[in-house]
Each structure stands twice: as structure tokens, then as C-alpha cells.
Amino acid sequence: MKNNPYIYILIMAAVTYSVRVLPLTLIRKRIKNRLLRSFLYYVPYVTLSVMTFPAILSASGSVVSAAAALVVGIAAAFFGASLFVVAAGCSLTVFVIEAILMFV
């Protein structure tokens, strides 16, 4: 059988649709289990972290500058900096460390 990309797209659409629709149709009552509610509450945050963490470490020219920017960004966000300040601080950190590494 020849590889038809439309078959793959159709299968991916069916899986994606079923994952979104099945919980709505199967679970009618409110979830009362505290452990399950806590687990479901943190799923989006964990998924976002797992998807962005590798991208952060490979976004710049070296892992050293990316890791330094990650630390600066976490520290700035922890102390309540705005999203713009965090992004600017991370960008500036990568710029400075890359400049330093270029001359070393």
C-alpha cells in the first residue's frame, strides 16, 4: 500500500477529536476525587513546560547562554516582573553571554 498522507491526517484528526469529545460525553457529573481534580488541574501547566523547556535550551547559539537566560527568566518571574521585562531580561542575557563567549 502506498503511503497516502491524507490517511495519516484523517487518523490524526479522528484521534484528536475523540480525545476532546470522549471526556465531554462520558463524564457527566462533577469530579469529586481530590487527587484526580488536582492532577487534571496541573496537566496544562506540565504539558506547556515539557514542550517549551527543550525549545528554550536549543533556542540560542549555546546551551550555556540559554540556561543562563532560563535562570534569569525564572528569577525575574518569581519576583513579579512583567512578561515584557522577563522576555527582555532573557534576551539581554543571551546577547551578553553570546558576546562574551564569542571573545573567549
Query: At 36, is the pLDDT very low, low, confident or very high (cuts 50, 70, 90)?
Result: confident
Q: Amino acid identity, residue 29?
A: K
Distance CA 52, CA 28 (A): 33
According to the model, what pLDDT value does residue 81 have?
A: 95
Instruction: Kindly report the pTM of this predicted structure.
Output: 0.62
Rg (CA), the chain: 21
Cα three-residue angle 81-45-16, rounded to 5 degrees: 140
Task: Kindly tell me if the per-residue pLDDT of 71 is higher than 60.
Answer: yes
Q: How many CB atoms lie within 10 A of CB 76?
A: 19
| Contacting residues for 76 by C-beta, under 8 A, at least 6 apart | 85, 86, 89, 90
Q: Of 11-15, 27-31, 94-98, give the lowest mean pLDDT range.
A: 27-31
